[in-house]
Amino acid sequence: MLWKRGSLTPELADLVFTHLPCDLSVADGDDVLVYWKGATYKTCDARFIGRDVRDCHPEESMACLEEILRAFKAGEQDVAEGWQEEHGALKRTRYFALRDHDGTYRGILEVNEDLTGARALEGEQALPGW
């Protein structure tokens, strides 16, 4: 169960999304792309908003995307993830099923992160600092 308290104005929510240290995209329950932000989507343009999420993925990833969407919609899975080395950087992609309080599938969230810096951490720094 997810715990939350309070609420965000649309302006504050936009600032939060802008400052998250990851790239993300959202498609609704009908597989329509409604939002993205970040360098992962640098080859996308505004024409993809409002279109089927399949239009935004390369052919070689289509079978995987279809299986993720199928499993999420069927309630069989809630998270799918993968990672790869790319030009010396460790990149991770995670997909999350977006479900309402009744568990009804409402869409999919794609999160892309560069974990290169985290991979290099050593020791411990329990409190945030510089």
Segments making up each domain of the chain, as ranges: 21-118
6 pLDDT higher than 80: yes
Question: CATH number of the domain at 21-118, please?
Answer: 3.30.450.20
18 within 8 A of 11, measured Cβ to Cβ? no
Query: C-alpha distances in angstroms, 41 versus 3, 4, 104?
Result: 30, 29, 28
How many C-beta atoms lie closer than 10 Å to residue 58's C-beta?
A: 7
Percent of the residues in the chain that have a pLDDT greater than 70, as a whole number = 98
pLDDT 10s digits, 11-24? 999 999 999 999 99
Kindly report the pTM of this predicted structure: 0.89
If you average pLDDT over residues 43-53, what whole number do you get?
86
Distance of alpha carbon 95 from alpha carbon 25, whole angstroms: 9
User: pLDDT band for position 47 (50/70/90)?
Assistant: confident
- Token pair of 87, please? 């030009």
> What is the structure's pLDDT at 44?
76
> What is the structure's pLDDT at 108?
98
Residue at token pair 């308290």: 5
> What is the structure's pLDDT at 1?
53
If you average pLDDT over residues 70-85, what whole number do you get?
97
Query: C-alpha distances in angstroms, 62 versus 8, 66, 68, 106, 128?
Result: 35, 6, 10, 20, 40
> What is the structure's pLDDT at 129?
84
90 pLDDT higher than 80: yes
